[in-house]
Amino acid sequence: MTNKWVSFIKFALVGAVNTLIDFVVYALLTKIGVNYILAQWISYSAGILNSYIMNRKWTFERKEKSSKREVILFVIVNLITLSLTSFLLTVLYNKWGISLLISKLLITIASVGINFIGTKLFVFTTKKERGIHI
């Protein structure tokens, strides 16, 4: 199996853990009456914190200390993903009348692909992969 596939499988496994965290926090927050979009932002944030730690250490096996660039790009990629998923959640739930749980599941599946591409291409790259030869 190629290194790219191993990275994607690890990313997907980390994503499963993140999704579990996301869904549990989301369910708890909406159960106590928190607005579904605010709950989405809070639960997603809990998942991305775990994502950063696990993907950095395990999926992409970064040994060096985190850089400001890496953290900022990670946050940007995840804010883009979060914005897209919030928009899609609103469309599926409010416009199309799909249940909140099914809507959340559908947007979570879509977010995995978007997030992997952004994370792989922009966040956990080496200077060599970015074309910087120092």
Hunting for tokens 């998923």 — which residue is that? 85
pLDDT, one tens digit per residue, over 83-120 is 988 899 999 999 999 998 899 889 888 887 888 888 88
pLDDT category of residue 4 using cuts at 50, 70 and 90:
confident
70, 123 contact by CB (below 8 A): yes
Q: Is 111 buried (19+), middle (13-18) or exposed (0-12) by CB count in 10 A? A: buried
Q: What's this model's pTM, rounded to 2 decimal places?
A: 0.68
> What mean pLDDT is reported for the chain?
85
Q: What's the length of the chain?
A: 134
User: What is d(CA 108, CA 16) in angstroms, rounded to the nearest whole number?
Assistant: 10
Hey, what are 124's tokens? 């956990």
pLDDT category of residue 133 using cuts at 50, 70 and 90:
very low
